[in-house]
Amino acid sequence: EPEVTQTPSHQVTQMGQEVILRCVPISNHLYFYWYRQILGQKVEFLVSFYNNEISEKSEIFDDQFSVERPDGSNFTLKIRSTKLEDSAMYFCASSEGGVGNTEAFFGQGTRLTVV
């Protein structure tokens, strides 16, 4: 069964450092997303990406965040200068069509710990 894969599974970084979280969406999917989940809280939308550009982003997705699809398979989330409050589980998701029309598949997540 096709799946969304994320690396690394756990990333520890010092405050102020840059991190890049990587995702390989399902190959025939066209829509890509990043969500985050602070420990014990709900899953929150960060950004959606379609046709090589951001289609929607939340208030959380400020200037320190960026996304990129550097090649035909990877989808990355970069946090330029990490803060303690960025510590969370980050989930990548992909869907064949928009979420109102097709299922969104989630990866296993990357646990980011900022110290």
Q: Which residues bind other proteins (CB under 8 A)?
A: 4, 31, 33, 41-45, 48, 50, 55-56, 58, 91, 97-101, 103-109
Of the candidates 88, 78, 91, the one whose C-alpha atom is nearest the C-alpha of residue 17 is 78
Closest approach of other proteins to the CB of residue 23, in Å = 11
Least CB distance from residue 22 to other proteins, whole Å? 15
Pair of tokens at residue 4: 């969304």
- Least spacing, CB of residue 35 vs other proteins, in Å: 8
Alpha-carbon distance values, 78 to 28, 66, 75, 96 (Å): 23, 5, 10, 24
